[in-house]
C-alpha cells in the first residue's frame, strides 16, 4: 500500500472515529421513550455506517437507489452520524418551513471555523432574522438593479481574455463570481485590498474540504492561517468604512449601520464572518451553474442558436452593443435564457441536499426522527422525480413554461434559511450569458461526460473548452450597423 493511500485511509478512519466518539458521548445513557418506529433503511457497518458506499459511487445513485428501495423517508448512517433522508416536497416543507423550529442548521465544526461562527447560516432565532433582513435587503432587486453596468464591466474583460484559449470553465467562472461578490459587498474597493482578499480567500477555498489537522503545510493548516489573514484585512477595511461611512447601500454598509434592540452595533468579527459567509455562498454555487449552462448549451446546438437569437435581438435594440444591457431587459427580454438557467438548476441540482439536526424527538408520517439525528432533505431526488418532472434526465427548458408544483423546485432551498442572494445570482448569470452568446463560440476539448464534486457537482475537469470570437456573429452585427 502506498504511503499516500495509507495516510488517506488513516485520516479517513481518524475522522470517522472522532465523529463516532462525539456522537456516543453526546447520546450516552439516552434511550428513546417513543414507541414510534424508525423509518426503513440500513445503517451499514459498525462505526463506518454506509459512508464507504456513498463515496465509492456517485452520491446521486446512492440516494436514488435508497429511495427506490425504501420510499421517500429512510434511515442511514454517514460520517459517524445516524441520518434520516427525506425525498418528498412535503417532507422538505415540514423540516425547512412548517416545523423549522424543531430542526437546527448543522455543519462540521471545521467548516464553522473556516467561515466564521458568527455567519448567518450557523444560526437561528433573532440574530439570524436580523442578519437575513440585512443581507436580503442589500441584495434585493431594488439595490442590485443599479449595478448592472458594474457587473458588465467585470464580465467583458474576462470574456475577452478567453479569446483563442483553452480554459477551465469552472475556474474562470469562479473569478467572475468572486469579483461580483466583492462588488455587491463593498461596492468600490481599493485594488490592493481586493488582491489580498482574493489571494487569501483562494487558500481558504482550497482547504475548506480537506481533512482538519494541525500539521504545517497541509491544505487545512494553510487555510486556517489564510482565514486569520482575511480577518485582519477585513478588520482594516471595516475600520476605514466606519470612519468614512462609504457605500451605505452595499452589504458592508448595511452591516455597519445595523443596530439591535439595545442600540448595539455588530462587532467587527460578526461583520467579517458574514462577509466571508456571503462569498462562500455566492462563488462556487453560481460558478457551477454557469459551467453547467455552457455544457448543456453546447450539447444542444439548436437550443444554443435560439438563445443566441434572443440576445442578438436585445443587442440590436441596444444599437449593437453601443448601449449596455438594461435591468428591464434582464427581467423581461430573456425568457428563454431564464428557462435554461432554471432547467440547469433542476438538472444539475448544485444544492443536492441540506443538513439539519433534530433538537427533539419528532414524529413524521408515523416515523420517529430521534433527537440529535441528522436530517437531510434531498433536493436532487425531488428535482429528478418523474412524478413532478416527466423524463427528468432530459434537458428541456420548455418544462418551465408552466410553474412547477409547490415545493418541487428548490434550487435555492426554502424557508428562513433559503438563499437570500438568488436575485443577484440570476442577474450575474444573465449578464455574462448575454455577452458570451453574442460574441463567442466554444467547443469542449476535455471530457464531455462525467461529474466531479468540488464539493458541488461540476462537469469533469471543470469543462475544458476553447473559446473564440465567432466570425458569423461579428458579420451579422456589422451588417446591421
Report CA Rg, the chain.
23
Asked whether 303 and 297 are in contact (CB, 8 A), the reply is: yes
Asked whether 262 and 130 are in contact (CB, 8 A), the reply is: no
Residue 343 contacts by C-beta under 8 Å, 6 or more apart in sequence? 296, 395, 396, 397, 399, 400
Asked whether 224 and 288 are in contact (CB, 8 A), the reply is: no
Nearest to 46 by CA among 24, 77, 23, 19: 77
Asked whether 254 and 134 are in contact (CB, 8 A), the reply is: yes
HSE of 94 in the Cβ direction (CA atoms, 13 Å)? Answer: 18
The x, y and z cell numbers of residue 139, run together, are 441584495
**Adjacent-strand bridge partners of 166:** 466
- Which pairing describes strands 440-444 and 464-469: parallel, antiparallel, or unpaired? antiparallel
**Using CA atoms, how far apart are residues 411 and 286, in angstroms rounded to an integer?**
11
**Using CA atoms, how far apart are residues 434 and 341, in angstroms rounded to an integer?**
13
HSE of 436 in the Cβ direction (CA atoms, 13 Å)? Answer: 27
Is there a binding annotation on residue 202?
A: no
Nearest to 350 by CA among 446, 424, 459: 459
Nearest to 358 by CA among 26, 45, 9, 12: 26
Binding site for heme: residue ranges? 419
Binding site: residue ranges? 419
Amino acid at each position: 500500500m502506498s504511503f499516500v493511500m495509507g495516510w488517506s485511509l488513516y485520516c479517513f478512519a481518524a475522522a470517522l472515529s472522532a465523529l463516532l466518539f462525539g456522537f456516543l458521548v453526546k447520546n450516552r445513557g439516552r434511550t428513546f421513550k417513543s414507541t414510534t418506529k424508525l423509518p426503513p433503511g440500513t445503517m451499514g457497518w459498525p462505526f463506518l455506517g454506509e459512508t464507504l458506499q456513498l463515496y465509492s459511487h456517485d452520491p446521486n445513485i446512492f440516494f436514488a437507489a435508497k429511495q427506490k428501495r425504501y420510499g421517500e423517508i429512510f434511515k442511514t448512517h454517514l460520517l459517524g452520524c445516524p441520518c434520516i433522508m427525506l425525498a418528498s416536497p412535503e417532507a422538505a416543507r415540514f423540516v425547512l418551513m412548517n416545523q423549522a423550529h424543531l430542526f437546527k442548521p448543522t455543519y462540521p465544526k471545521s467548516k464553522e471555523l473556516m467561515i466564521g461562527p458568527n455567519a448567518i447560516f450557523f444560526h437561528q432565532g433573532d440574530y439570524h432574522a436580523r442578519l437575513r433582513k440585512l443581507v436580503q435587503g442589500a441584495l434585493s432587486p431594488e439595490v442590485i438593479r443599479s449595478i448592472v453596468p458594474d457587473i458588465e464591466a467585470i464580465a467583458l474583460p474576462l470574456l475577452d481574455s478567453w479569446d483563442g484559449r483553452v480554459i477551465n470553465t469552472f475556474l474562470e467562472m469562479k473569478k467572475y463570481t468572486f469579483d461580483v461578490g466583492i462588488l455587491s459587498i463593498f461596492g468600490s474597493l481599493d485594488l490592493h485590498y481586493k488582491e489580498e482578499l482574493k489571494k487569501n480567500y483562494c487558500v481558504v477555498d482550497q482547504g475548506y474540504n480537506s481533512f482538519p489537522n494541525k500539521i504545517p503545510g497541509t491544505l487545512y493548516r494553510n487555510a486556517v492561517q489564510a482565514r486569520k489573514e482575511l480577518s485582519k484585512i477585513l478588520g482594516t477595511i471595516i475600520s476605514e468604512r466606519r470612519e468614512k461611512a462609504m457605500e451605505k447601500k452595499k452589504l458592508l454598509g448595511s452591516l455597519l449601520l445595523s443596530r439591535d434592540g439595545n442600540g448595539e452595533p455588530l462587532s467587527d468579527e460578526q461583520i467579517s464572518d458574514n462577509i466571508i459567509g456571503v462569498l462562500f455562498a455566492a462563488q462556487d454555487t453560481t460558478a457551477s451553474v454557469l459551467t453547467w449552462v455552457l455544457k448543456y448549451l453546447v450539447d444542444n446546438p439548436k437550443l444554443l442558436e435560439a438563445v443566441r437569437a434572443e440576445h442578438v435581438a436585445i443587442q440590436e435594440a441596444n444599437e449593437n452593443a453601443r448601449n449596455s444591457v438594461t435591468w428591464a431587459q434582464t427581467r423581461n427580454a430573456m425568457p428563454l435564457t431564464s428557462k435554461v438557467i432554471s432547467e440547469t438548476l433542476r438538472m444539475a441540482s448544485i444544492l443536492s441536499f441540506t443538513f439539519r439536526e433534530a433538537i427533539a424527538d419528532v414524529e413524521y408520517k408515523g416515523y420517529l426522527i430521534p433527537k440529535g439525528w441528522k436530517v437531510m432533505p434531498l433536493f436532487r431526488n425531488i428535482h429528478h422525480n418523474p412524478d413532478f418532472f416527466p423524463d427528468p434526465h432530459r434537458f428541456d427548458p420548455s418544462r418551465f413554461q408552466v410553474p412547477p408544483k409547490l415545493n418541487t423546485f428548490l434550487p435555492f432551498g426554502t424557508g428562513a434559511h433559503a438563499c437570500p442572494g438568488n436575485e443577484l445570482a440570476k442577474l450575474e448569470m444573465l449578464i455574462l450569458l448575454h455577452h458570451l452568446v453574442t460574441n463567442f463560440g466554444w467547443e469542449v476539448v476535455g471530457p464531455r461526460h462525467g461529474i466531479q464534486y468540488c464539493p458541488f457537482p461540476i462537469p469533469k475537469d471543470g469543462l475544458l473548452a476553447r473559446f473564440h470570437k465567432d466570425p458569423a456573429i461579428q458579420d451579422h452585427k456589422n451588417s446591421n450597423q
